[in-house]
Amino acid sequence: MELLMKNSWMLLTAIFVTMASCEPVDFSFPEPADQRFERSRELLAEKSSREIAVQSDDYSILFMADSHAGTTNNLDRVFSIAMATGVSAVCIAGDLTSGNIDDYQEFAQSIPDKSEIPTYLTPGNHDLWSDDGWNKYLDLFGASSYYFTVRTPEASDMFISLDSGTGTLGSKQLAWLEDILQNQRSLCRRCIIFTHNDFLRVRHSEISNPLVEELTVLIDLFTRYQVDMLIAGHDHIPSEELFGITDYIIVGAISDNDEDPNYMKLRVENGNLLREFVNL
Amino acid sequence: MESTPDKKTKNEPENSRFVRSGRNFRITAGFLFLIVSAELVAQPGLTIYADAGKNNASGGLFIRSAAMVNYGFGKNRIETGFQFGIKNAGNSSFSGFNINASRELSFKSYLFHLQGFYTRKGCSEILCETNWGALIDMRHKRFEIAIGTNFRTYAFKSGAIDEYGINGDASKFHENFNMMYSIGYYIKPADDLWNAGLAITNFDSFMIEQGVNPALRLRGLYKPGSQVCLYAEAWYLTAGFLNMSMNFFGFNFKTGISWNF
């Protein structure tokens, strides 16, 4: 090492040889997206398919993000509202915790039993920070890449969870998404994707967005297969942008530390999607 | 029935064509004079490179190539280039175009280049990406620094707008004042026969990434003659870097030749 430091050209040569090897060193931290996806698929293979049956063609789902537990006062309030208003499911788009692995337990205690209200989660970058963050997430909440359907008397609607916690979907999850859209999309009336990272850079910030090359592939897929909505968190500031045929929505943060905590209520009425940002 | 008046007879005197012709001649002659004058000190150049790699969105190995011609006169330089996709690099073989103009500036003992640019990429059959912006770069001893801003537009192509029934207002998405940067260090001074350097950057000739997604670029170059430079680059792309959850995104290798005639 001392020799390398003394001779900067040798150091650069060493880096070049490393980079030029057929499989470059993966500096990913924490677990890379491809590995998380594979674990998700293994876990899902053991479980039955996820379907919610509702009695009417009108139903509602609540979307929120960035609860950043620690404390869960706002989270508990939203679940109370969800149960009181009879929504069909709740989806939380990542950053369930602030990165402390002990907070997972606190968060998990706020999640109502499945019989009370089905809750669907996806991880955010904070959830993966700690050394064992991904494994803990997997143990407590299960897969991060999956889809569920809501079956009404008239039609089925598809909701896809994507794991974008490390800023990219990874090649395997991207291939899976394309496969789902290609083979399942036409069977469903509406298609809604929820994930943590917001895809369109609607304002200046230091938060990660997908790389341009990945984003253009995704926009292409969303258009070809008529994805109606992409619902994300990460930015903490609610926004909506229609680009192509897809509505790119960012829901605000539900964190107790957020000045304007809010969530989004998605109402499906005879197949029409009606969204409402709700301040707590 | 009302007749349509002839524009020339209605709006212009009879001899205006000759006046316009004279003005056009002077403008053309002026341009020719500038070009001929510039020829005396001008230096054209050509850069050709090939680029191969793999990333999370490429669906396997991609191969691209590009050719860029430049023309320098005095402290000014203009350059235009074309990129061609050979494998897994968009749906058309002609995958990118760029043009830029730059001027050399000096402040005390430092030399800068101020550049304005425009880039267009055909991302897929239905989508294209355009960028325009400004960049200022400086080379000082072994350090190379560039900083700039770009305005990006994603736009659906007209065929896609018709096919998918896209509303006109929803056919484009703009990103304003994106940050561009490059910070590099070379192991030898700029005029050495060979050199190698490492840089952190978010842009290349036909690629401008988000500022939050930096790439690592290792460059080696060799000058077999005073006007020729052979170079090779290895790129390592990351995702999620600024959010402390970093993921490998892709890598590519690039090799090319720059030749000033």
CB A92 within 8 A of CB A78: no
DSSP string covering chain B: -PPPPPHHHHHS-TTHHHHHHHHHHHHHHHHHHHHHHHHHHEEEEEEEEEEEEEETTTTEEEEEEEEEEEEEETTEEEEEEEEEEEESS-SSSEEEEEEEEEEEEEETTEEEEEEEEEEEEE-SSSEEEEEEEEEEEEEETTEEEEEEEEEEEEEE-HHHHHHHT--GGGSEEEEEEEEEEEEEEESS-TTSSEEEEEEEESEETTEE--TTS-EEEEEEEEEEETTEEEEEEEEEEEESGGGT-BEEEEEEEEEEEEEE-
Per-residue confidence (pLDDT) for residue B136, from 0 to 100 = 97
Q: Which of A17-31, B131-145, B157-171 has the lowest mean pLDDT?
A: A17-31
Is residue A24 within 8 A of residue A123, CB to CB? The reply is no
Average pLDDT over residues B99-116: 92
Instruction: Report pLDDT for B92.
Output: 63
Distance between CA atoms of A67 and A245, rounded to whole angstroms?
Answer: 29
pLDDT at A24: 56
Average pLDDT over residues B234-245: 88
Sheet containing strand A229-232, edge to edge, reads A51-53, A146-151, A156-161, A191-194, A229-232, A246-250, A239-243
**Cis peptide bond N-terminal to A124, omega within 30:** no
- How near does any CA of chain B get to the CA of A210, in Å? 7
What ipTM goes with this model?
0.88
Confidence category of residue A17, pLDDT binned at 50, 70, 90? low
Chain A residues 91-150 with a CB less than 8 Å from chain B = 125, 128-129
Tell whether the model's pLDDT for residue A6 goes beyond 90.
Answer: no
- Rounded to the nearest angstrom, the gap between the alpha carbon of residue A145 and the centroid of all alpha carbons in its chain is 8
| More confident call, A248 vs A101 | A248
Is the pLDDT at B17 greater than 80, yes or no? no
pLDDT, tens only, B19-59: 444 555 565 555 555 554 555 567 899 999 999 999 999 98
- Residue length of chain B: 261
Q: How close is the nearest chain A Cα to the Cα of B257, in Å?
A: 19
Q: Is B236 on the interface with A (CB under 8 A)?
A: yes
Query: Is the peptide bond between A24 and the residue preceding it cis, with omega within 30 degrees of 0?
Result: no
What pTM was computed for the model?
0.86
Beta-carbon separation of A28 and B246 below 8 A: yes
A118-169 tens-digit pLDDT? 999 999 999 998 888 999 999 999 999 999 999 999 999 999 999 999 999 9
- Ramachandran category for residue B157: left, alpha or beta (phi over 0 → left; psi -120 to 50 → alpha): beta
Closest CA to B125 of B162, B152, B100: B162
A165/B218 touch (CB, cutoff 8 Å), yes or no: no
Taking an 8 Å cut-off on Cβ atoms, the answer to whether B173 and A243 are in contact is yes
Amino acid at B185: Y
Closest among A2, A31, A24, A14 to A172, alpha carbons compared: A31
Domain ranges of chain B: 43-260
pLDDT at B107: 86
Percent of chain A with pLDDT over 90: 76
In which band, very low, low, confident or very high, does the pLDDT at B110 lie, cut at 50, 70 and 90? confident
Q: How many domains is chain A built from?
A: 1
To the nearest whole number, what is the mean pLDDT of chain B?
85
Which residues form the domain of A215? 31-279
In whole angstroms, give the CA distance from residue A266 to residue A276: 7
Between B173 and B90, name the one with better pLDDT. B173
Residues in Cβ contact with B255 at an 8 Å cutoff, skipping those fewer than 6 apart: B49, B50, B230, B231, B232, B233
Domain membership of residue A16 (yes or no) is no
CATH of the domain at A144: 3.60.21.10
How far is residue A259's CA from residue A238's CA, in Å, rounded to a whole number? 13
Residue B111: exposure state from Cβ atoms within 10 A (0-12, 13-18, ≥19): middle
CA A230 – CA B181 distance, rounded (Å): 30
pLDDT for the residue numbered A148: 95
How does residue A4 score in pLDDT terms, banded at 50, 70 and 90?
very low
pLDDT at B5: 39
Residue A45: per-residue pLDDT = 72
Identity of the amino acid at A18? T
Q: Nearest to residue B250, comparing CAs of B207, B186, B193? A: B207
Contacts of A27 in chain B (CB under 8 A): 238, 246, 248
Q: Which amino acid does the sequence have at B65?
A: S
pLDDT mean over B242-261: 90
pLDDT in tens, A29-79: 678 999 999 999 988 876 656 899 999 999 999 999 999 998 999 999 999
What distance in Å separates residue A42's CA from the closest CA in chain B?
Answer: 21
Q: Given this model, what pLDDT does residue A92 score?
A: 97
CB-CB neighbors (< 8 A) of A200 in chain B: 173
Q: CB A216 to CB B177 under 8 A?
A: no
Residues 6+ apart with CB under 8 A from B213: A167, A208, A209, A211, B202, B237, B238, B239, B240, B241, B249
Instruction: Say whether A166 and B247 touch across the interface (CB within 8 A).
Output: yes
pLDDT tens per residue, range B65-106: 999 999 999 999 999 999 998 887 665 678 899 999 999 999
Tens of pLDDT, residue by residue over B23-34, are 555 655 555 555
Contact B249 A171 (CB under 8 A): no
3-state secondary structure chain A: CHHHHHCHHHHHHHHHHHHHCCCCCCCCECCCHHHHHHHHHHHHHCCCCCEEECCCCEEEEEEEECCCECCCHHHHHHHHHHHHHCCCEEEEECCCECCCCCHHHHHHHHCCCCCCCCEEEECCCHHHCCCCHHHHHHHHHCCCCEEEEEECCCCEEEEEECCCCCCCCHHHHHHHHHHHHHHHHHHCCCEEEECCCCCCCCCCCCCCCCCHHHHHHHHHHHHHCCCCEEEECCCCCCEEEEECCEEEEECCECCCCCCCCEEEEEEEECCEEEEEEEEC
Decide if B151 contacts B179 (C-beta within 8 A). Answer: no
Closest CA to B245 of A59, A180, A260, A95: A95
Q: How far apart are CA A96 and CA A121, in angstroms?
A: 8
Q: Is the model more confident about B10 or about B178? A: B178
> Comparing B246 with A90, which gets the higher pLDDT?
A90
Among B56, B95, B124, which would you mutate to test the A interface (most chain A Cβ atoms within 10 Å of its Cβ)? B56
Say if A17 falls within a structural domain.
no
**Helices A212-224 + A170-184 axis angle, to 10:** 10
pLDDT of B154 strictly over 60: yes
B242 confidence band (pLDDT: 50, 70, 90) = confident
The top-level CATH class assigned to B43-260 is mainly beta
- CB contact set of B102 (below 8 Å; sequence gap of 6+): B76, B77, B78, B79, B113, B114, B115, B116
